[in-house]
């Protein structure tokens, strides 16, 4: 069984960022990254110039619909051999681009606002969604240190975030995420299954027909 949380959305786009509890250890920070959006998207362009977006392949041989790249000390990769973090971009053989300081600062500030002090991410996964693309329910469990939270930043087109439980079979809540919203989860919610429903078509003044998601992690 699924349920919607859309009624909790703020109606005033100019209102101060609001924190919405999602579950124990998890919160949605409404509009937290809105003002930083142009700078963050500019940095995405710089990162992708060095390590272009690509569609990874799952261990089962399926092509992921979401295009992605990474920045930071390590990047998340997938191929026929499995899921893992690697300090080298397999497409170029070079280290991933360094994490831009606006990325790092935003991740730290958002984590602190959610109650996670001194968050020091060493990886940022950058996902690019086009209309129709989706991300199936999954857990973020490839990190060695699960005490650190996950910080996820939405930019561009709105999306439906699927927030499940600790079992894949748990019916997910549907949480509407707009440009600038940040989701932070950790503690008892660190291994919750989550995903993104198929992206609806639209046009955003900063990203056009795209949604960009930044996911910050401490991998070790």
Q: What is the pLDDT of residues 136-147, one digit of tens each?
A: 999 999 999 899
126 is an annotated ligand-binding site residue = no
DSSP 8: G
pLDDT reported for residue 10: 37
85 is an annotated ligand-binding site residue = yes
The answer to whether 163 touches 192, Cβ cutoff 8 Å, is: yes
**At a CB cut-off of 8 Å and minimum separation 6, what does 159 contact?**
129, 176, 177, 196, 197, 199, 211, 213
pLDDT reported for residue 145: 86
129 is an annotated ligand-binding site residue = yes
Average pLDDT over all residues of the chain: 92
127 is an annotated ligand-binding site residue = yes
The answer to whether 219 touches 141, Cβ cutoff 8 Å, is: no
Which residue, 146, 123, 149, is CA-closest to 68? Answer: 123
pLDDT at 176 over 80: yes
CA dist., res. 172 & res. 178, Å (int)? 18
The answer to whether 138 touches 163, Cβ cutoff 8 Å, is: no
Per-residue pLDDT of 76-102, as tens digits, reads: 999 999 999 999 999 999 999 999 999
Rounded to 5 degrees, φ, ψ at 67 are: -85, 145
CA dist., res. 75 & res. 121, Å (int)? 11
179 is an annotated ligand-binding site residue = no
> How confident is residue 175, by pLDDT bands cut at 50, 70 and 90?
very high
80 is an annotated ligand-binding site residue = no
215 is an annotated ligand-binding site residue = yes
Helix (H) or strand (E) holding 123: strand 123-129
Alpha carbon distance, N-terminus to C-terminus of the chain: 35
Per-residue pLDDT of 105-158, as tens digits, reads: 999 999 999 999 999 999 999 999 999 999 999 999 999 989 999 999 999 999
Rounded to 5 degrees, φ, ψ at 38 are: -60, -40
Strands 3-4 and 173-177: parallel
Provide mean pLDDT across the span 180-194.
98
pLDDT reported for residue 18: 79
The answer to whether 129 touches 210, Cβ cutoff 8 Å, is: yes
216 is an annotated ligand-binding site residue = yes
Per-residue pLDDT of 1-52, as tens digits, reads: 332 333 333 334 444 457 899 999 999 999 999 999 999 999 999 999 999 9
> Structural domains in the chain?
21-217 (2.60.120.590)
Provide mean pLDDT across the span 60-75.
96
212 is an annotated ligand-binding site residue = yes
Tokens of 214: 């930044």
116 is an annotated ligand-binding site residue = no
């Amino acid at each position: 069984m699924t349920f919607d949380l859309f009624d909790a959305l703020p109606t005033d786009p100019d209102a101060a960022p609001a924190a919405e509890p999602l579950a124990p250890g998890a919160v949605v920070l409404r509009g937290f990254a809105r003002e930083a959006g142009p700078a963050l998207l500019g940095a995405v362009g710089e990162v992708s110039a060095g390590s272009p977006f690509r569609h990874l392949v799952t261990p089962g041989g399926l092509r992921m619909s979401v295009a992605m790249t990474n920045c930071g000390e390590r990047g998340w990769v997938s191929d026929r051999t499995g899921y893992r973090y690697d300090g080298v971009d397999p497409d170029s053989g070079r280290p991933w681009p360094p994490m831009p300081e606006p990325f790092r600062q935003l991740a730290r500030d958002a984590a602190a606002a959610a109650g996670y002090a001194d968050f020091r991410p060493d990886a940022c996964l950058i996902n690019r969604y086009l209309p129709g693309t989706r991300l199936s329910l999954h857990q973020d469990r490839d990190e060695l240190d699960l005490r650190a939270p996950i910080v996820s930043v939405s930019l561009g087109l709105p999306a439906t975030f699927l927030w499940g439980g600790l079992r894949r079979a748990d019916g997910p809540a549907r949480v509407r995420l707009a440009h600038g919203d940040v989701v932070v989860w950790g503690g008892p919610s660190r291994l919750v299954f989550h995903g993104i429903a198929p992206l609806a078509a639209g046009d955003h003044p900063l990203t056009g027909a795209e949604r960009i998601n930044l996911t910050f992690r401490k991998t070790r």
